[in-house]
Amino acid sequence: MRYRKSHFTRTQNAWAFYDWANSVYSLVIATAVFPIYFESVTPDEISFLGLSLSNTSLYSYSLSASFFIVALMSPLLSGLADHTGNKKGFMMFFCYLGALSCIALAFFSGESSLWLAIVASMMASIGFWGSIVFYNAFLPEIASADQHDALSAKGFSWGYIGGALLLIFNLILIEFPASFGLSNAGLASQVSFATVGIWWLLFAQVTFLYLPSRKGERVSAKGYLWTGYQRLHRVWSMVRKAPHLKWFLFAFFAFSMGVQTVILMASLYGSKQLGLAADKLILTILIIQFVAIAGAYLFAYLSKTLGNIQALMIAVVVWMFVCLSAYAMNPDNPSVLYQFFALGGVVGLVMGGIQSLARSSYSKMIPETVNTASFFSFFDVTEKIAIVSGTLFFGLTVQIYDGDMGRAALVLGVFFLISLLLLSYLRFVVKPHHRFTELSGLRYSYKRNS
């Protein structure tokens, strides 16, 4: 079945709308409000599990642990989802786990409830990223290859708009708590965590209403726990035989270490490293969100004119500039706030572009198969291990250099440099696999069997 590029079906729009529903987690909880709140209600040095850690390092390590759990779980779950044909059921489970965990964060008030913060934030992260495994796996099922860039960009842009709208409301809530019958900004922050869970739950119902519920073959009781890992191994065997796909995943791993860690730790960087106020940090993140809408479409256009790999290389170079600029920022400079605003705009421009392009490029590279969840499980496991590595490196660097997050930003820049070298190798050296057609500028699309 062929789809017109200028028109999306109701199912495709419903799929993209899940970005609107879940992006409030990645914006309010993972990026903007919760990290700042966590840093403000906990001491600089925390005793946790017998270890003395900075609150920044503890937060970074808890994120690493949640992504490691997702990386271990997703092969089993996605393989089982492929085998049962029940991607939507698994997606719903993780959606509800994440949303309810966000609501639980509303009861975190300080060091006395630290365990609640760590467990609930980890469960929210697991719920968000677990649902994304199955969400991404729907893309090649509901859209043709020539639509992937545009539909993926549409999802990201809707996510940025939805997340920004709720963040604006939460910013007003935190700045003027008395107007909402709340005693202080801390309590308003706790209420904002609950609004994320409620928003996520409600708007996800639109997606679940229209996504197909396919039931496939049933798995025998014997050995079903290992089905996902066996399929993951088969995916890796196929990846090794497709050099362009293998080197793309290596490059994706390297730049994901940087991109996701920057997104997750940006507000803490502004708060602790540069000493910026919470309202200024949230405003910066809003700037990033709105610029990212344009960025997603800009890089979709660049991929169409220059090719996916070339467009990704441009994005990676800009990310290297971001890391070097963050390292060079001086908190004593009177214009540091405006520098941070400007850098936030640059981040927004490439944040949506690189994520949207990575997802759509991979969807066009994978072979035609009914087991899309297994291929996207491999993609997501790659990303999660990259985030585990990135956040661990970040936390360790902060710990080694006595809280200096500037050195950590410089380390992230090295990851982008490695990714650029890998993409250059892919662009100029690696020949496309015989089952793929090379379009302009290494823009790959799958050559489907007739």
CA gap 169, 189 in Å, rounded: 11
Is residue 77 within 8 A of residue 147, CB to CB? The reply is no
- Of 163-172, 255-264, 291-300, 434-443, minimum mean pLDDT range: 434-443
- pLDDT reading at 219 higher than 60: no
Beta bridge partners of 443: 439
pLDDT band, residue 25 (cuts 50/70/90):
very high
* pLDDT given for residue 166 in this prediction: 93
SS3 429: coil
* Closest to 14 measured CA to CA, from 289, 293, 205: 205
Q: What mean pLDDT comes out for the span 142-168?
A: 81
* Closest to 24 measured CA to CA, from 166, 207, 126, 192: 166
- pLDDT reading at 57 higher than 60: yes
Instruction: Please list, residue by residue across 113-135, b when 16 or more beta carbons sit within 10 angstroms of its beta carbon and e when fewer do.
Output: ebeebbbbbbbbbbbbbbbbbbb
How many Cα neighbours within 13 Å face the side chain of 411?
19
Task: Compute the CA torsion angle 329, 333, 335, 337 (nearest 10 deg).
Answer: 60
- pLDDT reading at 5 higher than 60: no
- pLDDT reading at 342 higher than 70: yes
Q: How many CB atoms lie within 10 A of CB 172?
A: 13
Query: How distant, in Å, are the alpha carbons of 125, 303, 305, 310, 435 from that of 432?
Result: 36, 17, 19, 15, 8
**Mean pLDDT, the chain, as a whole number?**
81
* pLDDT given for residue 223 in this prediction: 53
pLDDT band, residue 450 (cuts 50/70/90):
very low
- pLDDT reading at 370 higher than 70: no
User: Residues 6 or more apart from 434 whose CB is under 8 A from it?
Assistant: none
- Of 260-269, 295-304, 367-376, 424-433, minimum mean pLDDT range: 367-376
pTM score, two decimals?
0.74
- Please give the domain boundaries of the chain with CATH numbers for all domains: 10-213+226-446 (1.20.1250.20)
* pLDDT given for residue 446 in this prediction: 34
Task: Please give the structure tokens belonging to residue 69.
Answer: 């759990």
CA gap 124, 97 in Å, rounded: 7
| DSSP alpha helix (H) spans, 269-331 | 278-306, 308-328
> CB-based burial of residue 182 (10 Å sphere; 0-12 exposed, 13-18 middle, 19+ buried)?
middle
Max intra-chain CA distance, the chain:
66
* pLDDT given for residue 442 in this prediction: 35
CA gap 440, 307 in Å, rounded: 6
For residue 413, give the amino acid letter: G
Q: What mean pLDDT comes out for the span 306-317?
A: 88
Is residue 228 within 8 A of residue 71, CB to CB? The reply is no
